[in-house]
Amino acid sequence: MPADPRHRPRWTGLAFFGATAALLALCLLIGGASRLNAVQLTILELASLPLLGWALWRVTLEGLWPTLKVPGLILLGVLAVAAVQLIPLPPGLWSSLPGHGEAADALKLAGLEVGWRPLSLTPDLTVTHLLSLLPAIALFLAAVLLRASQQAWLMALIVLFALVSLALGVAQTMAGPESGLYLYPFANRDNAVGLFANRNHQASLMVAVLPLAAAAVAVAKGRGVRPLPLWVALAVVFLLIIPFVAVLKSRAGVLLLVPGLLASLAILWPPRGALPGIERRGVLALAAVIVVGMVIGGAFALGPLLERFADNQEGRLLSGPIAARAAWDLMPFGGGLGSFRDIYAGVEPLDLMAVSYWQHAHNDFLQIWLEAGVPGLIVVVLFLVWWAGAGIGAWRAPSDDRVILARAGAVALGLMLVHSFVDYPLRTPAMMAVFALACAALATAGRRSRRSGG
C-alpha cells in the first residue's frame, strides 16, 4: 500500500525541496555550455545521484508511477535507445549495418580486427550522452513529488537565475570581449551570453522564463500575497528581458518573444469568478509594459537585428541537407548518440570545410534522427503527442495552482521545442534542467491542488 505523504515529517519535505532547488541552481550556474565542459558536467552528474536515488525511492513508496505512465514510458524509451546502442554485436552483423561498412573497412586498413562492437559508432560518446541526462532525470522525478507552491518557487528560482545571467551579460558587454567575466573560453565574446557560452541559448532561457514568471506570480496571488508588488516585479522582469533579447540579436529569440509574451498574458488572465476588474487591469497594464519594452528594444537594436535577419547564414543552411543525407544513409538505427560531430566531419564537402567545425546540427530533431534513427524519432513523436495532449488539457481545465503551472510548463516546452528546430539549446545542462521542471509541471496537472499545501 502506498505511503501517505501527509504522515511524512515536515523537515523531510523541506529537505527534499532544498535538495531539488540546489541541483536546479547548480545546473543553471555551471551548465551553460554544450561542449568542452567535462568538469562541470561531471560535477552535475555526481551531484544528481543522491537526489535521483531519493526521488526514485519516494516515487515508488508513494505509488506515483501510475500517474506518470506516459512520461515514464517516454523516459524509459530514451534510456532504452541509449542502452540498445551499447549492446555488443558480432562482427558480421555490425559490419552489415547501414553506415558501419565504411567503419569496418577503415579498421581493416589500419590492421585492426572488427571484433564485437556496439551499434554506436562512438560508444564512449554515447555513454557520455547517457550520463549527461542524469541531472535532468533527477530534477523531473523530484519535481513531480513537490507541492504546487514548491514548483512555483522553483520557477521563481529559474527567473532569478535568468536575471543574474542577464546582469552578467550586460557586464560582459561593458567590459569587452577580452573580459574575464566570460565563463567559457569558447563563448560568443561579441555578445552578452551571461551564464552561457552561446547567445542563442541565453535567448532561449530569457524567452522560456516569461511564462514561468507569469505562473509563479499567478500562484502567489492565489495564495494571498499582495498583488501590487507581484505585478510590479513581473513588469520589471518583462521590461528587462524584452529589450535584452533584442540586444542579443538572436533571431529565434526575437521571433519567439511574441508568442511567449502573449501566452504569459493568457496565463495571468483571470478565470471566471475571480475579481475581473482588478486582475484584468493588471494584465492590461502588463501589456502596456510589454509595448514599452519592445519600443526600447527596437530603439537599441533594430539596426543590428535587421542585419542579422538579412544574414542568410549560408554555412548553417547548407549543412542541414548534408546531415539529412547522412541520417538517411544510417537508417534505421542511426550512428549512435553523440556521434554527430564525427559523422558530419566524414561527409562534409571540402568546399564547406572551415576553421571551425560543427559540434551539433543546428536542428536538434535532425541530430536525433542521425544519431538515434527511427527509435529516436518514435520517442520524439511520443513526447510531442504527450506534450500537445497534456498542454491542451491544461488550457481547457478549470484553473487551480497545478493547472496554472502546467500551462506555463506547456508554453515553455513549446518555446524550447520550436527553438530546437534551428538550434540546440537543450544540449546544455542548464536548459535541460528548465525542460525537466516544465515537464514535471505538465505531468502533475491532474493532481489535486490544495491551497493549504499544494
Quickly state the pLDDT bin for 304 (edges 50, 70, 90).
Answer: low
Residue 309 lies in a domain: yes
Residue 112 lies in a domain: no
The amino acid sitting at 274 is A
Tens of pLDDT, residue by residue over 93-146, are: 888 888 888 888 787 887 777 788 899 989 999 999 999 999 999 999 999 999
Contact call for residues 44 and 76 (beta carbons, < 8 A): no
Residue 115 lies in a domain: no
pLDDT for residue 358: 66
pLDDT(452) > 50: no
Residue 4 lies in a domain: no
Burial class (CB in 10 A: 0-12, 13-18, 19+), 360: middle
Q: Quick one: cell of 135?
A: 541531472
d(CA 136, CA 45): 9
pLDDT for residue 454: 42
d(CA 259, CA 32): 24
Q: Could you tell me which of 256, 188, 171 has the C-alpha nearest to residue 34?
A: 188
Tens of pLDDT, residue by residue over 144-156, are: 999 999 999 999 9
pLDDT for residue 113: 79
Residue 350 lies in a domain: no
Q: Which residue has the cell 519535481?
A: 143
Residue 352 lies in a domain: no
Contact call for residues 214 and 268 (beta carbons, < 8 A): yes
d(CA 415, CA 436): 14
HEC assignment per residue over the chain = CCCCHHHCCHHHHHHHHHHHHHHHHHHHHHCCCCCCCHHHHHHHHHHHHHHHHHHHHHHHHCCCHHHHHHHHHHHHHHHHHHHHHCCEECHHHHHHCCCCHHHHHHHHHCCCCCCCEECCCCHHHHHHHHHHCHHHHHHHHHHCCCCHHHHHHHHHHHHHHHHHHHHHHHHHHHHCCCCCCCCCCCCCCCCCCCCCCCHHHHHHHHHHHHHHHHHHHHHHHHCCCCHHHHHHHHHHHHHHHHHHHHHHCCHHHHHHHHHHHHHHHHHHCCCCCCCHHHHHHHHHHHHHHHHHHHHHHHHHHHHHHHHHHHCCCHHHHHHHHHHHHHHHHCCCCCCCCCCHHHHHHHHCCHHHCCCCCCCCCCCHHHHHHHHHHHHHHHHHHHHHHHHHHHHHHHHHCCCCHHHHHHHHHHHHHHHHHHHCCCCCHHHCHHHHHHHHHHHHHHHCCCCCCCCCCC
Domain membership of residue 306 as a residue range:
12-86+125-315+357-443
d(CA 351, CA 347): 12
d(CA 370, CA 372): 6
Tens of pLDDT, residue by residue over 348-361, are: 766 666 545 567 77
Residue 107 lies in a domain: no
Residue 2 lies in a domain: no
Average pLDDT over residues 199-223: 92
- How high does pLDDT run on average in the chain? 86
d(CA 120, CA 101): 13
pLDDT for residue 450: 45
Residues in Cβ contact with 32 at an 8 Å cutoff, skipping those fewer than 6 apart: 165, 183, 184, 193, 194, 195, 196, 197, 201, 202, 428, 429, 430
The total number of structural domains in the chain stands at: 1
Residues in Cβ contact with 416 at an 8 Å cutoff, skipping those fewer than 6 apart: 204, 208, 425, 426, 431, 434, 435, 438
pLDDT for residue 295: 77
Quickly state the pLDDT bin for 176 (edges 50, 70, 90).
Answer: confident
pLDDT for residue 316: 65
Q: Quick one: cell of 190?
A: 561579441
Average pLDDT over residues 193-218: 93
Average pLDDT over residues 235-250: 89
Radius of gyration of the chain (CA): 23
